[in-house]
Structure 1
Amino acid sequence: MTDTVLDRLLRYVVIDTQSDPESQAQPSTEKQKDLGRVLVAELLALGLDDAHMDEHGNIYATLPANTEKDVPVICFCSHMDTAPDFTGTDVKPSIVRNYQGGDIQLTGDASRIIRVSEHPDLEHQIGNDIVTTDGTTLLGADDKAGIAEIMTAVATMIANPEIRHGTVRILFTTDEEIGRGADKVDIAKLGAAFAYTMDGGRVGEIDDETFSADGVEIEISGVAQHPGTSKGVMENAIKIACDIVACLPKELAPETTDGRQGFIHPTDINGSMDAANLKFIIRDFTNEGLTDKEALLKSIAEQVIQAYPGSTMRFTVTEQYRNMKQVLDQHPEIMANLTEAVRRVGLEPVTNSIRGGTDGSRLSFMGLPCPNIYTGGHSYHSPLEWISVQDMEKSAETIVELVKVWEERA
């Protein structure tokens, strides 16, 4: 009960929980359950007697209501896995106490420097305590900061029963970083009317909109022939795949778009002379924009394959997630109460559209409307990741104020 949000973050980040996109299991890595077992033990110690981990590594727990009002059941959600983009093994967190400005030299890799010119949010952290990595790993504040904030808020409500609140459900998921965080969540067991993910960035920023997202796979069958006798016969599948990528519009790439612009992004290419495989992610804020980009990609692939009459192509689209704003706009009170809570902690709420997705994207379309709240983290998925202790405290305070708002307005 006396642990701070910093105590919890430091305890969680040293547990390696990276997910694995190549694994078909859920969780994709068993080591995610190492953190899960720690969290279940802590929740039970706090008095949440139903805390448990299911076979997929998801954690469920309940903080019972302490009011007679009919308050909707709220869920707070964060994910336990860290991104596979950069190693999360042997994390050595470092704390810059009473930050006084300037660049931050990381201790484990002299080439890693968190520069103010590249991280201007540091200018607002004077006097705060900054947690970083040593430069050799991720920090894992995405999303262990969110977990630490939820745990701290729960402990605060238990220690202060004068804080009136309805029933609060806790959900910690696995494999969010590889797009499977909501796959095995039992919405019926959760029993919540709506949820909030703690998985955002800069304090004050709340997210009610995400990309809509699909995956595309193009499988190419070429014509193999010995190179010495291949004139007029060989149709190299690798070259066909490269031709498709070369024809992609440069103005529809992640590196050339921002704001509300979507993109077509090749994420994987492999092959041999006779067969090749291309994988893409397609992103847009509207379903129509998503469909248009998929049609454009298919048209490009079909035009390329026409130059190779002996070759064939298979084009497969897989839905990944949809823009959660389509659901949240039907429940305006969810965002209205959140913006009130943000103001109560002394921040001016800024509503954002995420150029990505969260567990909330999927959960919203599974019947659990779910916007996203700031955790205070910066430079996620990078060895330059950092977070302010005071910003984490503000995020935990926001959770407490939010449950109070819902109880007052019930």
Structure 2
Amino acid sequence: MYQVNRERLIQTFLELVQINSLSRDERNMADRLTRELQELGVEVVEDTAGEKVGGNAGNLICTLKGDASKPTILFTCHMDTVAPGLNIKPQLLEDRITSDGTTILGADDKAGVSGILEMVRTLKEQNLQHGTIVLFLTMGEETGLLGSRHADWEKLPKIDMGFAFDSNGPIGKVVTQAPAQERIEVTMHGKLAHAGVNPEAGINAINAASLAISRMKLGRINERTTANIGNFHGGDATNVVCDKVTIAAESRSLVLEELEAQTQHMVDAFQAAAAEYNTTCDVTVQRMYSNLNHDVESEVVQTAFKAVRSLGFEPSTMASGGGSDANVLNGMGIPTVNLAIGYEKIHTVSEFIRLNDLENGARLLVAMTQAVL
């Protein structure tokens, strides 16, 4: 049921992964997708997200008009990839596609993007009925969901439910839980002094910041919450007592109360250490995105389940430790789940996707358009 053109899909994927599109440099990818979608009769609008975050392309907000009496659904994938992702040379093997081992492959998320193009072609060729479909193709997802967080939301029509195609795992897995994230940026102040002549006159910001971190609960806090120190920078010379350290950290949790408690624990540790060293610290906390939490009986989950079952797969839910554009869409009031599309070992030079998973991901997109009729 819901067959797609496998060879065309594979060829599209091979072409797309060879388009350089690191985060904030998605221009060539956006132009290719704009051209192809417009040729298929899809309305394409590019927003100003790229301008807001220093990129050379915005998000593509694409509308394939359909039966207005049916729910309007949104599909989202991202156009950007991580490094090392320049000049990718995909290798087509008997049952899978890999890179040549020197770069990532870029199946995250060009498997999803290729599937979207094949889905539109299939709807047209097979004259399948559908409601209005919005394609939200984002820039900068790999660098903190920049595209979706800075989207021109007024350019989107009213959406009934959304589906991200951007998760690892076998076809049929539906991400119904994903954490909210807060970013913590700290500047620990100290006082300069000569480290050999009069160190007593100085206040070592490295010592103060290190004391704070040593007192923190970090890593896996429990099955719902994690925390991490991402970078720590300070000092220029060994003969100078360091007067400033900057730290970037994060906390994540499936439960907002636990997220806020973990973040406050980390902030308190920095402030207490600064007080003990008779100095100060500047702390800023930013909620990067909201959590994702859908009951299995919710309409958006049951719609995904219906589509999965129509292909002969058994659906199941899972929780993710990472955020995606689905988190942002949920935060904007659009019920959205994230669906697994089968890519493996993403963000490594060993990344690959099986040909059957690439095909079934595209079939699932088609099935989703029919599940809401």
Q: TM-score, normalised by structure 1?
A: 0.82
One-letter identity of the residue aligned with 2:27: K
Taking the TM superposition and a 5 Å limit, the aligned residue runs for 1:184-195 are: 184-191=150-157, 192-195=159-162
Structure 2 counterpart of 1:45: 39
One-letter identity of the residue aligned with 1:240: A
Contact in 2 for aligned 1:187/1:368 (Cα 8 Å) = no
Unaligned 5+ runs, structure 2:
51-57, 236-241
Structure 2 counterpart of 1:217: 185
1:173 pairs with 112, 115, 138, which one?
Answer: 138
Structure 2 counterpart of 1:87: 84
Tell me: CA distance 1:376–1:257, structure 2 relative to 1, closer, same or farther (3 Å): farther
Structure 2 counterpart of 1:200: 167
- Separation in 2, partners of 1:350, 1:329: 12
- Separation in 2, partners of 1:160, 1:335: 26
- Separation in 2, partners of 1:244, 1:131: 46
Structure 1 counterpart of 2:59: 58
Contact in 2 for aligned 1:217/1:316 (Cα 8 Å) = yes
Aligned residues: 352
Offset from partner CA, 1:35-93 (integer Å, 9 cap, x none):
00000111112222x2243343211222221x4x711111111000112xx31011111
Taking the TM superposition and a 5 Å limit, the aligned residue runs for 1:6-405 are: 6-19=10-23, 29=24, 31-48=25-42, 50-55=43-48, 56=50, 57-65=58-66, 67=67, 70-83=69-82, 86-97=83-94, 129-161=95-127, 163-179=128-144, 180-191=146-157, 192-202=159-169, 203-249=171-217, 252-253=218-219, 256=220, 260-272=223-235, 273-309=242-278, 311-325=279-293, 328-329=294-295, 332-405=298-371
SS of residue in 2 equivalent to 1:88: coil
SS of residue in 2 equivalent to 1:352: strand
SS of residue in 2 equivalent to 1:51: strand
- Separation in 2, partners of 1:394, 1:230: 69
Contact in 2 for aligned 1:87/1:138 (Cα 8 Å) = yes
- Separation in 2, partners of 1:345, 1:257: 38
One-letter identity of the residue aligned with 2:206: I
- Separation in 2, partners of 1:90, 1:402: 33
SS of residue in 2 equivalent to 1:360: helix
- Separation in 1, partners of 2:228, 2:330: 25
- Separation in 1, partners of 2:198, 2:162: 60
One-letter identity of the residue aligned with 1:92: K
- Separation in 1, partners of 2:338, 2:108: 13
Tell me: CA distance 1:331–1:40, structure 2 relative to 1, closer, same or farther (3 Å): farther
Tell me: CA distance 1:261–1:209, structure 2 relative to 1, closer, same or farther (3 Å): closer
Contact in 2 for aligned 1:222/1:235 (Cα 8 Å) = yes
- Separation in 1, partners of 2:270, 2:303: 47
Offset from partner CA, 1:141-199 (integer Å, 9 cap, x none):
111111011111111111011x2211111110101111213123233322122211110
- Separation in 2, partners of 1:378, 1:188: 35
Q: Give the deviation of 1:367 after TM superposition.
A: 2.2
Offset from partner CA, 1:190-225 (integer Å, 9 cap, x none):
212221111012221111111011011111110111
One-letter identity of the residue aligned with 1:169: V
- Separation in 2, partners of 1:307, 1:135: 50
Offset from partner CA, 1:14-37 (integer Å, 9 cap, x none):
112111xxxxxxxxx2x3011000
Give structure 1 regions of 4+ aligned residues with deviation exceeding 6 angstroms.
Answer: none
Q: Give the deviation of 1:330 after TM superposition.
A: 11
Q: Give the deviation of 1:299 after TM superposition.
A: 2.6
SS of residue in 1 equivalent to 2:81: coil
Percentage of identical aligned residues: 28
Q: TM-score, normalised by structure 2?
A: 0.89
Tell me: CA distance 1:282–1:318, structure 2 relative to 1, closer, same or farther (3 Å): same
Unaligned 5+ runs, structure 1:
20-28, 98-128
SS of residue in 2 equivalent to 1:199: strand
Contact in 2 for aligned 1:379/1:386 (Cα 8 Å) = yes
One-letter identity of the residue aligned with 2:261: D
SS of residue in 1 equivalent to 2:359: helix
Q: Which moved more, 1:197-206 or 1:230-239?
A: 230-239
Tell me: CA distance 1:190–1:313, structure 2 relative to 1, closer, same or farther (3 Å): same
One-letter identity of the residue aligned with 2:74: C
One-letter identity of the residue aligned with 1:245: I
Contact in 1 for aligned 2:47/2:60 (Cα 8 Å) = yes
Contact in 2 for aligned 1:5/1:389 (Cα 8 Å) = no
- Separation in 1, partners of 2:336, 2:168: 16
- Separation in 1, partners of 2:221, 2:359: 34
- Separation in 1, partners of 2:348, 2:269: 34
